[in-house]
């Protein structure tokens, strides 16, 4: 953390988005995380993504549970709505908020402890309901806030800072999400913003549950030799399989892609995601094959990264439940109140 | 790009824009920090070390530092560096005990300095502590040169001038007043002097030969001579309507002085539009505050004399076509215009003049009668004869004269000691960490969003009552506190150690001005476009690291608008970034003397 706040002064030629806002306008409060924490980089990536998408801050909802990761919602987009919930219960709060107002962007930030231990059930059910939100796991393999115990995502054989080895197998959020039917499953690394920023943009624009499991080294308790989630280890063992380019609605696709290796996908609002295969044998549309390949590569101690599985067009929570079109607070009184005649009819049903 | 070579003193020196722009390399951020701490005497001495006349320069310096100030690129206005220097001088204690000690035993070498202006005084200041005996010859009854004759007392009080000149004279300088040198040959003849330094300035005002010049001569004055006459009290009034020809800093002094001698309507006549004015922006501002009218696009045509007395001047009224780069592409005369005037003051430039140097002494002159002087050593073509200040390369500001005199003093010293004068010590650089603890630095690293403080002035009603009422009142204590905090501490350098970096991006995310990027290396022009904020100011360097250990990419810092807040270093988990104070060491004569002692064989 730092003791002085980031000064308000900015680069004189800082670019502005269509709303007239600079990147700096999407920042939040001063981070109190350790200096060098991967989470702060993810925060910066979220800031960058929201700025580029020109999201109006009042149309963004930030949700989190408990843990180092869950503190970070305070560090981006000051003007957004925020809810810091009970440990592991963020998906419930997101559920409720989303049910009440489907027109906002929902971004949940959670950690490996918050998601894969105490909140595992909530996480699974949010996927099952295909809740329209971006769910970011800031995954560092340790409980940083309680001084570095192994978390449920710690790999077998990984060494803690004090030297003990982890023997329990990890829960892999990506594999879990694939088996639960998630339609947008990605893995990334806090140290690779070129990959992470477009993923966050795509995730925010994806209709339905979007998961990004971000490897985010804990610089204080899990950045040593023997750790499988350190900066050095992650850089050596991470393998981008699919690169995602997010192309906003107004913009033409300018990059040239080799035929056969790209997969452009048009999203519901007309913006596009272009998946670029870095690993020719990898098919991000075949759920079973994806799961198998990811698992295989994990055994070889390799993290495949990128938008690993993508299946747009799945019905999300509101589609499945036939909820009203707009936000509940915008439903007119006439529609909400049956009137005295209508009330009589309803009561008659119970007589 | 190759990794930046920070071992060369110039690299970090250049980051301190003010110090780099200052001819005398004054350690500006250091003295501003001392002022912020209330250590005015120490701040004064830091100044005196390099620029010798802090009280004088704090009022009248041409301040090349301020246009260079990084604050001016981050915000609109630079730090009021010059006026903070004055603060140090105004609030200092007695510095006698801090001045260099003068050895009682002399080294047997005699130096003659011609002209008691800032250049000669600086030579004396540098050489007296080394045991030299310095004699200064001055044509007037008082020392100070153009600082006394040409800068009006309402800008530079006699007291301040006297104090700072006194510090040097009190070192035991033999000052010969009312002693114009008529012949250099005569001075050299008796072989008394081991070296001669000529710091006689540029005392010759330029003439404007137009019809009517001789007929109206009684009321046509040469600016610098006229200012001198006023300074020495030979002149105390002027006509009601005054025209000033020229629009440089001397013109500004002439028009403002005229107002104090009784002129009612003063007009400054400029040939060209405002963007071509030679006067510093702040001097123009100060003159216009006193209701001096500046008339542009008027080319003098003739002096009009009626009944044997100057009646005014005729001008051609001009029109200019100016292109996008601000250059004149065409000009034409639109009409002729008469301006009535009782007096005209010519302030169209000045030059050095050496009628007293015989041309057969081995000192070569060029076709314009300017002596050939070595740019580094300031030696003329005759060994042992040196020039400095305006006498060397024509009119510039005091601060240039001081630096040239520092360099000339080194040459004089080496000449007298029989050392080759062109083999000189180079600049040095020291870096020292400012880290005090986890998140603590021994400088105020937070950015202070204050705007530049305005210098309070004596009211227009009061200031004309006497010729020597200093117009600028100096900053108040509150203004000093605020203005000092505006300094960005550019001398507290961001120093990067690539081998410690784990590429966590923390520094990049926290940098408020987006000056850091980790990226693949490339050629400079191309790399500049790929940074987090494009580095458009090519006058400012990119600081490129060695390849980073984990990915082989490089850390690139664009020095342009770094506010030296130290957040990169605070955020860095491995201390790959550190904040280190840079000390630029710019050698003076005393350093050459010390180096010579060190070179001597040691007795076991």
Chain segment A233-280, per-residue pLDDT in tens: 999 998 888 888 888 876 665 555 555 567 778 887 878 888 877 777
Top residue of A12, A75, A215, A232 to mutate, by most chain B CBs within 10 Å, is: A12
- Total Cβ atoms within 10 A of residue B330: 9
- Whether B34 and B44 have beta carbons less than 8 Å apart is answered as no
Classified as helix, coil or strand, B231 is: helix
**What total number of domains does chain A contain?**
1
Locate CATH 3.50.50.60 in chain B.
100-203+352-416, 206-349
Tell me the nearest-neighbour CA distance from B571 into chain A, angstroms.
Answer: 4
- Cα A276 to Cα A307: distance, rounded to the nearest angstrom: 10
Check residue B170 and report its DSSP letter: T
Between vectors from CA B483 to CA B479 and to CA B486, what angle results, nearest 5°? 155
> Are residues A10 and B512, on separate chains, in Cβ contact within 8 Å?
yes
Classified as helix, coil or strand, B15 is: helix
Q: Is the dihedral of CA A271, A277, A283, A284 positive or negative?
A: negative
On whether residue A351 sits in a domain, the answer given is: no
Cross-strand pairs, A60: A105
Check residue A146 and report its DSSP letter: G
- Six-digit token string for A283: 């098919």
Locate CATH 1.10.1060 in chain B.
17-97+430-486
CA dihedral A89, A95, A101, A104 (to 10 degrees): 70
Per DSSP (E only), the strands in B359-477 are 385-387, 428-433, 435-437, 440-441
Longest dimension (CA), chain A: 74
Residue A257: what pLDDT? 56
Q: How far, in Å, are A32, A67, A91, A135, A336 from residue A123 at the CA level?
A: 26, 16, 6, 9, 32
> Are residues A37 and B506, on separate chains, in Cβ contact within 8 Å?
yes
Closest partner residue to B447 (CB to CB) among A7, A13, A219 is: A7
Q: Which of B577, B578, B543 is nearest to B560 (CA)?
A: B543
Helix (H) or strand (E) holding B596, with range, is helix B589-599
Class of B206-349 in CATH? alpha beta
Tell me the nearest-neighbour CA distance from A26 into chain B, angstroms.
Answer: 13
> B-chain residues within 8 Å CB-CB of A43?
509
Tell me the nearest-neighbour CA distance from B285 into chain A, angstroms.
Answer: 27
Q: Which of left, alpha, beta for B572 (phi over 0: left; psi -120 to 50: alpha)?
A: beta
> Are residues B550 and A231, on separate chains, in Cβ contact within 8 Å?
yes
Residue B55: what pLDDT? 97
- Whether B403 and B23 have beta carbons less than 8 Å apart is answered as yes
Tell me, rounded to whole angstroms, the distance of Cα B129 from its chain centroid: 24
CATH code, B492-582: 3.30.70.20
pTM of the model: 0.90
Half-sphere exposure of B142 (CA within 13 A, CB side): 16
Per-residue pLDDT of B339-348, as tens digits, reads 999 999 999 9
Average pLDDT, chain B: 94
Closest partner residue to B503 (CB to CB) among A10, A24, A191 is: A191
- Cα A245 to Cα A264: distance, rounded to the nearest angstrom: 9
- Whether A304 and A327 have beta carbons less than 8 Å apart is answered as no
- Cα B248 to Cα B202: distance, rounded to the nearest angstrom: 15
> Are residues A6 and B571, on separate chains, in Cβ contact within 8 Å?
no
Tell me the nearest-neighbour CA distance from B561 into chain A, angstroms.
Answer: 7
Top residue of B509, B520, B529, B549 to mutate, by most chain A CBs within 10 Å, is: B509
Query: In chain B, which stretches have pLDDT less than 70?
Result: 604
- Total Cβ atoms within 10 A of residue A10: 18
CA end-to-end span of chain A, whole Å?
A: 65
Classified as helix, coil or strand, A304 is: strand
On whether residue A347 sits in a domain, the answer given is: no
> Are residues B571 and A235, on separate chains, in Cβ contact within 8 Å?
no
- φ and ψ of A304, to 5 deg: -75, 140
Tens digit of each residue's pLDDT, chain A (351 residues): 567 889 989 998 888 999 999 999 999 999 999 999 999 999 999 999 999 999 999 999 999 999 999 999 999 999 999 999 999 999 999 999 999 999 999 999 999 999 999 999 999 999 999 999 999 999 999 999 999 999 999 999 999 999 999 999 999 999 999 999 999 999 999 999 999 999 999 999 999 999 999 999 999 999 999 999 999 999 999 888 888 888 887 666 555 555 556 777 888 787 888 887 777 788 889 999 999 999 999 998 889 999 999 998 899 999 999 998 889 999 888 888 889 999 999 999 998
Please give the CATH architecture assigned to the domain spanning B17-97+430-486: Orthogonal Bundle (1.10)
Closest partner residue to B506 (CB to CB) among A12, A35, A235 is: A35
Residues comprising chain B, all counted: 604
Q: Does A13 touch chain B (CB under 8 A)?
A: yes
> Are residues A40 and B509, on separate chains, in Cβ contact within 8 Å?
yes
Contacts of B304 (CB under 8 A, 6+ apart): B212, B216, B310, B311, B312, B313, B314, B338
On whether residue A95 sits in a domain, the answer given is: yes
Q: Does A48 touch chain B (CB under 8 A)?
A: no
- Six-digit token string for A20: 């007239």
Range of the domain at A40: 23-325
Over the range B491-529, which residues count as b (16 or more CB within 10 Å of their CB) and which as e? bbbbbbeeeebbbbbbbbbbbbbbbbbbeebeeeeebbe
On whether residue A334 sits in a domain, the answer given is: no
Residue A250: what pLDDT? 66
Q: What is the CATH number of the domain that holds A302?
A: 3.40.50.970
Residue A253: what pLDDT? 59
Note the ipTM here.
0.89
Q: Does A3 touch chain B (CB under 8 A)?
A: yes
Locate CATH 3.30.70.20 in chain B.
492-582
- Cα A318 to Cα A268: distance, rounded to the nearest angstrom: 15
B100-203+352-416 topology per CATH: FAD/NAD(P)-binding domain (3.50.50)
Residue position matching structure tokens 């006549």: B269
């Amino acid at each position: 953390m730092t003791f002085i706040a980031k000064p308000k002064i900015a680069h004189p030629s800082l670019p502005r988005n269509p709303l007239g806002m600079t990147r700096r306008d999407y920042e939040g409060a001063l981070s109190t995380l350790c200096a060098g924490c991967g989470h702060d980089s993810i925060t910066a990536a979220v800031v960058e993504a929201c700025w580029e998408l020109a999201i109006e801050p009042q149309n963004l909802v930030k949700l989190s549970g408990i843990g180092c990761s869950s503190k970070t919602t305070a560090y981006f987009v000051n003007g957004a709505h925020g809810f810091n919930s009970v440990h592991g219960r963020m998906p419930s709060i997101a559920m409720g908020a989303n049910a009440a107002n489907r027109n906002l962007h929902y971004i949940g930030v959670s950690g490996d402890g918050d998601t894969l231990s105490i909140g595992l059930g909530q996480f699974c059910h949010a996927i099952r309901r295909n809740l329209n939100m971006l769910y970011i796991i800031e995954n560092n393999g340790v409980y940083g806030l309680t001084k570095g115990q192994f978390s449920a995502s710690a790999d077998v054989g990984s060494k803690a800072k004090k030297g003990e080895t982890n023997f329990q197998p990890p829960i892999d959020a990506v594999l879990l999400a694939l088996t639960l039917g998630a339609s947008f499953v990605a893995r990334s690394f806090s140290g690779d913003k070129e990959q992470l920023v477009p993923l966050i943009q795509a995730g925010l624009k994806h209709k339905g549950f979007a998961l990004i499991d971000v490897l985010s080294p804990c610089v204080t308790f899990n950045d040593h030799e023997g750790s499988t989630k350190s900066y050095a280890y992650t850089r050596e063992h991470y393998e981008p399989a699919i690169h995602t380019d997010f192309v906003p609605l107004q913009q033409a696709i300018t990059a040239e892609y080799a035929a056969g290796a790209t997969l452009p996908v048009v999203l519901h609002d007309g913006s596009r995601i272009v998946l670029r295969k870095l690993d020719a044998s990898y098919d991000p549309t075949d759920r079973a094959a994806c799961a198998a390949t990811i698992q295989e590569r994990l055994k070889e101690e390799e993290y495949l990264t990128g938008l690993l599985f993508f299946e747009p067009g799945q019905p999300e929570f509101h589609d499945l439940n036939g909820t009203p079109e707009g936000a509940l607070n915008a439903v007119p009184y006439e529609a909400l109140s049956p009137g005295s005649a209508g009330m009589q009819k309803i009561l008659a049903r119970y007589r | 790009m190759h990794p930046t070579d920070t071992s060369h003193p110039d690299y970090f020196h250049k980051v301190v824009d003010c110090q780099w722009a200052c001819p005398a390399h004054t350690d500006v951020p250091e003295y501003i920090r001392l002022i912020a701490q209330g250590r005015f005497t120490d701040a004064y001495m830091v100044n005196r070390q390099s620029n010798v006349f802090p009280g004088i320069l704090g009022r009248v310096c041409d301040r090349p530092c301020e246009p260079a100030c990084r604050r001016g690129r981050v915000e609109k206005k630079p730090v009021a560096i010059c006026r903070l220097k004055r603060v140090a001088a105004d609030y200092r204690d007695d510095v006698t005990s801090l001045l260099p000690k003068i050895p009682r035993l002399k080294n047997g070498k005699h130096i003659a300095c011609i002209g008691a202006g800032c250049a000669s005084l600086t030579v004396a200041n540098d050489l007296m502590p080394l045991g030299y005996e310095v004699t200064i010859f001055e044509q007037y009854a008082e020392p100070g040169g153009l600082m006394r004759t040409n800068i009006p007392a309402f800008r530079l009080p006699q007291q301040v001038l006297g104090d700072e000149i006194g510090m040097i004279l009190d070192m035991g300088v033999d000052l010969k007043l009312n002693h114009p040198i008529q012949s250099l040959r005569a001075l050299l003849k008796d072989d008394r002097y081991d070296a001669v330094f000529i710091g006689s300035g540029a005392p010759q005002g330029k003439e404007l030969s137009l019809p009517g010049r001789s007929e109206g001569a009684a009321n046509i004055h040469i600016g610098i001579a006229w200012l001198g006459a006023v300074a020495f009290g030979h002149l105390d009034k002027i006509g009601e309507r005054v025209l000033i020809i020229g629009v440089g800093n001397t013109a500004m002094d002439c028009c403002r002085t005229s107002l104090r001698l009784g002129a009612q309507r003063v007009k400054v006549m400029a040939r060209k539009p405002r963007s071509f004015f030679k006067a510093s922006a702040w001097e123009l501002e100060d003159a216009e505050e006193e209701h001096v009218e500046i008339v542009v696009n008027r080319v003098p045509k003739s002096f009009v004399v009626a009944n044997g007395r100057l009646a005014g001047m005729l001008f051609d009224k001009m029109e200019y076509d100016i292109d996008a780069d601000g250059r004149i592409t065409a000009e034409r005369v639109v009409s002729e215009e008469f301006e009535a005037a009782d007096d005209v003051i010519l302030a169209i430039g000045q030059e050095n003049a050496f009628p007293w140097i015989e041309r057969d002494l081995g000192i070569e002159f060029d076709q314009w009668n300017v002596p050939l002087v070595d740019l580094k050593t300031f030696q003329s073509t005759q060994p042992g004869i040196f020039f400095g200040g305006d006498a060397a390369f024509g009119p510039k500001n005091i601060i240039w004269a001081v630096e040239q005199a520092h360099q000339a003093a080194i040459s004089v010293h080496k000449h007298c000691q029989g050392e080759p004068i062109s083999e000189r010590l180079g600049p040095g650089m020291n870096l020292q960490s400012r880290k005090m603890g986890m998140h603590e630095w021994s400088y105020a690293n937070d950015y202070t969003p204050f705007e530049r403080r305005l210098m309070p002035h004596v009211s227009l009603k009061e200031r004309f009552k006497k010729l020597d009422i200093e117009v600028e009142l100096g900053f108040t204590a509150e203004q000093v506190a605020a203005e000092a905090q505006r300094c960005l501490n550019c001398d507290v350098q961001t120093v990067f150690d690539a081998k410690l970096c784990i590429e966590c991006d923390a520094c990049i995310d926290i940098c408020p001005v987006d000056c850091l990027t980790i990226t693949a290396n490339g050629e400079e022009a191309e790399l500049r476009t790929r940074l987090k904020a494009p580095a458009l100011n090519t006058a400012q360097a990119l600081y490129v690291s060695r390849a980073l250990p984990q990915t082989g990419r490089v850390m690139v810092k664009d020095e342009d608008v770094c506010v030296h807040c130290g957040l990169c270093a605070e955020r860095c988990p491995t201390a790959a970034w550190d904040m280190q104070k840079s000390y630029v060491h710019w050698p003076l004569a005393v350093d050459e003397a010390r180096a010579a002692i060190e070179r001597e064989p040691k007795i076991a």
